[in-house]
Structures are given as C-alpha cells and as structure tokens.
Amino acid sequence: MKSVRLDRRAVALLAGEEGEGTRLAMSILARMAEVVGARELLDITAAHIDSSLYQGPATLEFAERLAEGGARVRVPTTLNVSGVDEHGWRDWDVPETWAEPARRQMEAYEAMGCEPTWTCAPYQTQPRPARGEQVAWGESSAIVFANSVLGARTERYPDLLDICCAVTGRAPAAGLHLTENRAGEVLVDLSGVPEALSSEPALYPVLGHWVGLRVRGQVPVFDGLPARPGEDDLKALGAAMASSGAVALFHWIGLTPEAPDRATAFQGREPAEVLSPGPAELRGARDELGSGLVDADGLDLVVLGSPHFSLSEFAALARLVEGRRRHPGVRLLITTGRAVRELAGRAGYLGAIEAFGGELTVDTCILTTPMLPDGIRRLMTNSAKYAWYTPSLLERAVAFGSLADCVDSAVAGRVTRDDGAWTAEP
C-alpha cells in the first residue's frame, strides 16, 4: 500500500486536538486512503451521507460514538434516507423495535450538524455542487447524478466513510476525484433506437439497466439519440446503471457537462467497446425487470419514487390521475423527500393524487425499511432500481412499467402495459 502524505491539519486531528470523535473519523479516513492508493487527501466543499440509514445496532453505535465524541461536520452536509418515516411510520407495518433505534440514529447525525434532508435526491431542493467541485457523496443514485449530470467529483463513498469525510472536510485524492479517471470507456450508440421509443420515458431506466449489466463499473458515453432526455430521465438512467452495474459516472454527448463532444468525453482516446442496443435488446431488458408478475391477474401495490419523486414527477402524476380512482384492492405509494412534498403541496399537485387514493411517505426508502405488510406480495414500479432489488431484498414479485402504465394498473387492479413504443422498429 502507498503511504498517504498527511498535512499538519490532518496530523493534528489524528492527535485528538479536536476531540475523540474527530480523531476517530480522521484515523478511518487516513487508513482508507491507503487502501485505495491515494497519495494525499484533498479538501471537499460538501458531503451527502448514506450512513444515516439505520441498518442495525452497528450503524447506530458508530453514529452515536462520533456524536458523543464531539464530531461535527466541517462542510455543508445533507442526509440520505433514514430507516424510518419519522412522523408517518405507524401508518405501515414498521415495528417499534426498528423505529426507535432508527430515530436515535437520525438524532445522532443531526447532532453532528448535518442538514435533516432525509432524501436520496438532495439535488432536487438543496444547493448543487458545481462542475469540478470536490465533494464526498454516498448513495449510489446520488453519486452517479452528482458526477454525471452536475459534473461534480465524488467517489462511490460507502457507509461510515462518508461521514468521516464530512467531519474532517477531506477525502482521498483518488478515483473519480481525478481528471484522468473520468474519461469515457464504452460508447453506447443509440442510433438504432426507434423514434417512437426514443420519446418513451421508460426508455431511460430500461436503457440504464441494460447498459449497467454490460459495462460493470466502466464509464459509458451515450450518443446518437435524437431525443434530448430531461433531468428526471437522467436520474432514472443513472440510478438503473448504478444498481445493475455499479456505474458512478456516465457522459451524454452534447448534454452532460464533461461531454460537449466525443473527443472530450473520451479524453482523446478510442472507446474500448461499442454497445448498440436496438429494439430487441431493449424489449428484453424491460422484460428482465420483473419476476413473472406481468401476466398475473392481481396487483397489491404500486411504488413510485426510487430515487425519490421530484416536483416535476408529481406534476406528471397529478395529470395522469386527475378524475380517476385507484382500484380498491391496490395501494399506490410515493416516496419522496420532505422538502419536495412541501413544494408539491404548495403547487397543488397533492390534491388530485390524494383523491385518487395515493399515499406518501417521506424520509425513508421502501427498499430499506421493514414497512410492507405480509399481505402485500405483488408490486409494480416505474423504477428500474426498485424492480432490480425488490425480488432479493423484499422477496416480493414485481412488474416494471412506465408511470402511465403504473397508474393504469392501479386503476385496473392488475398489471397492464402499453407495448406500442416497445414494438416499433427503426
């Protein structure tokens, strides 16, 4: 392992000059910097903490040890989802034995000076890091968004290390913090995508799922699609690739900050591989995002908001449900951040959604909180991330479809999908 050069500030923190909590954070950071081969530490300007999610006694003990040791964050620090909806957990099947330590963990992170955002999409309401800004973000979908869409620089920070970066204000100078590691590696040629499918919002999570499985952590570069994806499309694309393929950075030619053209995106190199998904490959990827539920007769729950629902997604959902009512046997749940929920309420979107029978939960993620009643076994979602993880994490059957498909299915009481765009040919 390479030894890390520590400056006077770091040495002082290691010596305990600012308390035991900060000493512990710096000792972990310095050791991990050696593990990843960094020669030095760099300053960061912000952090986003995935460690805030309660996962058992160890994560609670770590947070409370830091807080009780006087650790305080040095940079603006947002918090990812917690282990519980602080005020609405009793509406679901969350046991008190889970909710109580999860609340304690939330309190520990707030005591360290973190902002109680409780969302996997802090960029929806919080100040955004600028292009080239060095940050330390946790949570896979937030990481890929920060690197790709914002052009900020962060590695894939794991739980517990992210808060150490925030407390010390430093990060290892390695990985995607460095320009040479941000070059595109695989070209994804989208010229074979039919025009009808290029305007289908569900294309982006499906495409992300397909690409993630094939690039396995490499940096993909997208080009050749006549349509211009919006921010929610890029959020869904990145989250899907992060889930199926551990992708932390992608470039989209002419759209994302570091890809004005191919030469820049690849830093003058040739792609190591070219992927050319067409209609058959994308239909196959869409069908993979499920566990045999598409042809089933019943449906128990539609889940939206993985990553957390944005204000524009609330607007789209409100239009789709206006004047309609969900089937009495199907629940519809939206997960979002508390700040976006407030904005959606002010904008008037929640009235139509609540009249439809939709429910909201904030602060948390249905993938990581034990909230589902045993009787809910058949789920549907428009999130490739959620569809990918549900069979293994929740042991439920799941179907994937567009947002419109999800609403139509909630009304019909069974899974229904519009296949028109998916059967179009180039």
Average pLDDT, integer, range 367-388: 95
With bands split at pLDDT 50, 70 and 90, how would you rate the model's confidence at 27?
Answer: very high
What is the amino acid identity at position 22?
A: T
Instruction: Calculate what percentage of the chain has a pLDDT beyond 70.
Output: 98
- Burial pattern 338-360, b for ≥16 Cβ within 10 A else e, equals bbbbebbeeeebbebbeebbbeb
What pLDDT sits at residue 86? 84
Contact present, 224 and 277 (Cβ < 8 Å): no
Contact present, 188 and 211 (Cβ < 8 Å): yes
What pLDDT sits at residue 87? 83
pLDDT tens sequence across 145-189: 999 999 999 999 999 999 999 999 999 999 999 999 999 999 999
Average pLDDT, integer, range 220-231: 96
CA 103 to chain centroid, in Å, comes to: 22
What pLDDT sits at residue 2? 61
Query: Nearest CA to 122 among 322, 337, 270, 296?
Result: 337
Average pLDDT, integer, range 387-405: 95
Query: To the nearest whole number, what is the mean pLDDT of the chain?
Result: 95
Query: Nearest CA to 363 among 115, 124, 139, 118?
Result: 118
**Tally of residues, the chain:** 426
pLDDT tens sequence across 283-331: 999 999 987 676 666 899 999 999 999 999 999 999 999 999 999 999 9
Average pLDDT, integer, range 138-148: 98
Q: Using the predicted structure, report yes or no on whether residue 1 has a pLDDT greater than 60.
A: no
How are beta strands 41-43 and 170-172 bridged, if at all?
antiparallel
Average pLDDT, integer, range 338-346: 97
What is the 3-class SS of 213-259, one letter each residue? HHHCCCCEEEECCCCCCCHHHHHHHHHHHHHHHCCCCCEECCCCCCC
**Cα within 13 Å of Cα(285), Cβ side:** 25
For residues 3 and 94, the model is more confident at: 94
- For residue 128, the SS3 value is coil
Residue carrying structure tokens 């609340």: 103
What pLDDT sits at residue 404? 98
User: Which tokens go with 262?
Assistant: 């191919």
pLDDT tens sequence across 117-132: 999 999 999 999 999 9
What pLDDT sits at residue 423? 87
CA-based R_g, the chain, Å? 22
What pLDDT sits at residue 290? 81
CA 33 to chain centroid, in Å, comes to: 25
**Cα–Cα distance between 305 and 316 in angstroms, integer?**
13
pTM (two decimals): 0.96
